[in-house]
């Protein structure tokens, strides 16, 4: 039965003249890649954005800095993927050229299966910092100055102020960012799709990419629908989990 | 005392060094893009990194205009963006008004239903919408790009609805006292508006702007038909191909690159991001109020 099905499939594909990649990615595989992408992006994005937002908060020319950091957010993701694809080129891409100047061996950013995912995470962080930073900045503005004044009188330095006032009082904002970031990341498509097409064995394939490719290139609508539904289940479960987290974090943050 | 001052100055210097270092990396790709667009292919492919072209090749831009119907792409983007913006504003402000101001039976259930559509990933709608468009006979036509589709419209309605509903409630919340994350976000909007769009913090001024940005980015509609003719491609692809064209100006493969094969890129992450923000705003409010 299995055999009949598969031969029919290949016949169908032959008739339609569709190219199907030999190594078809499996669903668990892309969920795994995707989870890694999500957590890497979600975590580092928030950490970097938090540090930068605190640094920029009362800096001179803060509007200018914010504008610069926000620029990638309003740039289409496809354009970002394309630019970074060129920057990551193995031989004469900008990054490898810079590395060569310092005498470091070139890194195969997008073609080394161990590195490709991280390259995309770096790009995603670059593209996402601005948005997270704005939200964190808004959160920072809501922390009354009194706390910092009191801490200064008690002799707390900037680092202690950061860890004992800023971070705890920002926890609702940070939780919010984690939640939205992770849910957004589960739907990510453009960056891996535009940058990862040359990655070996599809090491950066995401679920949405899988759904898209199965549906519109292999024309396997049923399988693609199943993938999409699975994705929905994961996001739904994740949302419930974050809701639960929110309930704890939200209330704890104000007690 | 003096030592403390020195430490403070050193810390300040470190702070600005970090900020400027970060800003440099943020700008670099944009700068490189512009600089590369003026380079010759030889300069672009050279092993020694070049920051600026020796002789700016303004001709590249002319070639893009000549070889690729990029003005058509822009026109398509404009059509899609403005029609989507208009339709969404019309439908969603009506829906938003109904949900926010009117009291009717089943309002809560209906509202939570609309809200829940925001949780679905775009890719769930991809296949059904494709079939719907097939059913309408709209595949391979401009209506696919024009018409903000059912699923999408629901998203946008709920988006706007939440926002309207939200503004109403936030006013109440503001007077209640210190803010939660929700207000953070509202503040975020204010901050965003102040820095970017003047004082356009009023919902109905900044929403079209946001939608316009999103719609201009939304190549999603046009791509459900991956064999779309070239003239239906919105600008995002234009930018893609434009970029490619500038870079591979000498490549004869240009025409084969711009055929329908590479056009199939769906998804609209930016939009889902906005929607997700709205959703969480509301969720947080429900939690913190209750």
Give A195's Cβ-side CA count (13 Å radius).
Answer: 37
Mean pLDDT of A86-105: 83
Confidence of residue B91 (pLDDT cuts 50, 70, 90): low
CA separation for the pair B8, B243 (Å, rounded): 46
Which of B57-61, B172-176, B277-281, B283-287 is the most confident on average?
B57-61
Q: Do A71 and B30 touch (CB under 8 A)?
A: yes
Mean pLDDT of B196-212: 35
CA separation for the pair A190, B159 (Å, rounded): 22
CA separation for the pair A149, A161 (Å, rounded): 10
CA B54 to chain CA centroid, nearest Å: 35
Cα separation values, B52 from A172, B37, B242, B279, Å: 45, 10, 20, 45
The answer to whether A209 and A228 are in contact (CB under 8 A) is: no
Position A150 pLDDT exceeds 60: yes
Higher pLDDT pick, A132 / A245: A132
Higher pLDDT pick, B50 / A143: A143
Lowest mean pLDDT among A86-90, A155-159, B122-126, B189-193: B189-193
What percent of chain B stands above pLDDT 90?
5
Mean pLDDT of A87-114: 82
Please name the residues in contact with B134: beta carbons below 8 A apart, sequence gap of 6 or more: none
Q: How far apart are the first and last CA of chain A?
A: 62
The answer for A 166-185 residues in CB contact with B (under 8 A) is 172-173, 175-176, 179-180, 183-184
Position B198 pLDDT exceeds 50: no
Residue A226, exposed/middle/buried by CB under 10 A (0-12, 13-18, 19+)? middle
Chain B hits for A187, CB-CB cut-off 8 Å, are 121-123, 267, 269, 272
CA separation for the pair A52, A162 (Å, rounded): 12
Chain B hits for A173, CB-CB cut-off 8 Å, are 181, 184
Confidence of residue A30 (pLDDT cuts 50, 70, 90): low
* pLDDT, tens only, B226-248: 333 233 333 333 333 333 322 22
Q: Do B240 and A221 touch (CB under 8 A)?
A: no
* pLDDT, tens only, A102-146: 888 888 888 777 788 888 888 888 988 888 888 888 888 888 888
The H or E element that residue B15 is part of is helix B2-37
Model pLDDT, residue B24: 92
Structure tokens at A242: 């974050």
3-class DSSP state for residue A40? helix
Please name the residues in contact with A27: beta carbons below 8 A apart, sequence gap of 6 or more: A207, A210, A227, A230
C-alpha radius of gyration, chain B, whole number: 24
What percent of chain A stands above pLDDT 90?
3
The answer to whether B185 and B138 are in contact (CB under 8 A) is: no
Mean pLDDT of B95-119: 71
DSSP state of B260: G
What percent of chain A stands above pLDDT 70?
78
Structure tokens at B165: 């509903």
Q: Phi/psi class of residue A219: alpha, beta or left (left: φ > 0; alpha: ψ in -120 to 50)? A: left
Lowest mean pLDDT among A195-199, B29-33, B107-111, B166-170: B166-170
Note whether A220 contacts B: Cβ–Cβ < 8 A: no
Model pLDDT, residue B17: 93
Lowest mean pLDDT among A29-43, B31-45, B46-60: A29-43
The answer to whether A196 and A49 are in contact (CB under 8 A) is: no
């Amino acid at each position: 039965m299995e055999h009949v099905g598969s031969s029919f499939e290949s016949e169908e594909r032959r008739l339609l003249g569709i190219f199907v990649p030999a190594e078809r990615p499996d669903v668990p595989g892309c969920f795994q890649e995707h989870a890694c992408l999500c957590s890497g992006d979600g975590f580092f994005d928030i950490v970097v954005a938090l540090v930068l937002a605190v640094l920029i908060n009362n800096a001179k020319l803060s509007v200018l800095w914010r504008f610069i950091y926000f620029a990638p957010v309003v740039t289409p993701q496809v354009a970002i993927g394309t630019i970074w694809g060129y920057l990551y080129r193995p031989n004469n891409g900008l990054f490898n050229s810079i590395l060569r100047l310092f005498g470091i061996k070139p890194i195969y950013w997008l073609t080394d299966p161990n590195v490709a995912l991280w390259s995309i995470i770096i790009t995603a962080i670059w593209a996402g910092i601005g948005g997270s930073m704005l939200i964190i900045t808004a959160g920072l503005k809501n922390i009354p100055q009194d706390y910092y004044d009191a801490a200064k009188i008690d002799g707390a330095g900037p680092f202690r102020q950061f860890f004992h006032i800023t971070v705890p009082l920002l926890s609702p904002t940070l939780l919010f960012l984690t939640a939205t970031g992770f849910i957004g990341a589960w739907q990510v498509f453009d960056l891996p799709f535009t940058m990862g097409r040359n990655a070996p064995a599809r090491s950066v394939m995401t679920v949405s990419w899988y759904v898209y490719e199965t549906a519109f290139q292999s024309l396997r609508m049923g399988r693609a629908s199943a993938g999409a539904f699975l994705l929905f289940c994961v996001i739904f479960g994740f949302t419930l989990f974050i809701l639960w987290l929110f309930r704890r974090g939200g209330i704890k943050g104000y007690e | 005392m003096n030592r403390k001052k020195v430490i403070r100055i050193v810390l300040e210097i470190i702070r600005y060094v970090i900020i400027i270092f970060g800003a440099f990396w943020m700008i670099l790709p944009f700068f490189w893009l512009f600089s590369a667009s003026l380079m010759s292919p030889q300069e672009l492919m050279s092993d020694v990194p070049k920051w600026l072209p020796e002789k700016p090749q303004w001709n590249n831009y002319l070639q893009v205009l000549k070889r690729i119907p990029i003005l058509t792409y822009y026109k398509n983007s404009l059509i899609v963006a403005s029609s989507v913006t208009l339709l969404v504003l019309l439908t969603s402000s009506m829906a938003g008004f109904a949900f926010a101001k009117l009291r009717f039976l089943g309002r809560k259930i209906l509202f939570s239903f609309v809200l829940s559509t925001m949780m679905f990933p775009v890719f769930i709608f991809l296949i059904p919408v494709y079939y719907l468009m097939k059913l309408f006979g709209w595949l391979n036509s401009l209506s696919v790009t024009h018409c903000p589709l059912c699923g999408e419209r629901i998203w946008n309605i709920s988006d706007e609805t939440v926002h309207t509903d939200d503004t109403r409630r936030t006013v109440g919340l503001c007077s209640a006292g210190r803010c939660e994350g929700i207000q953070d976000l509202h503040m975020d909007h204010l901050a965003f508006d102040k820095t970017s769009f003047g004082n356009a913090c009023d919902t109905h001024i900044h929403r079209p702007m946001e939608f316009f940005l999103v719609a201009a980015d939304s190549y999603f509609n046009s791509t459900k038909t991956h064999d779309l003719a070239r003239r239906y491609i919105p600008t995002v692809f234009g930018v893609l191909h434009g970029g490619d064209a500038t870079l591979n100006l000498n490549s004869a493969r240009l025409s084969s690159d711009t055929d329908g094969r590479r056009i199939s890129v769906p998804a609209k992450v930016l939009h889902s991001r906005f929607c997700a923000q709205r959703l969480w705003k509301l969720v947080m409010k429900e939690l913190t109020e209750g």
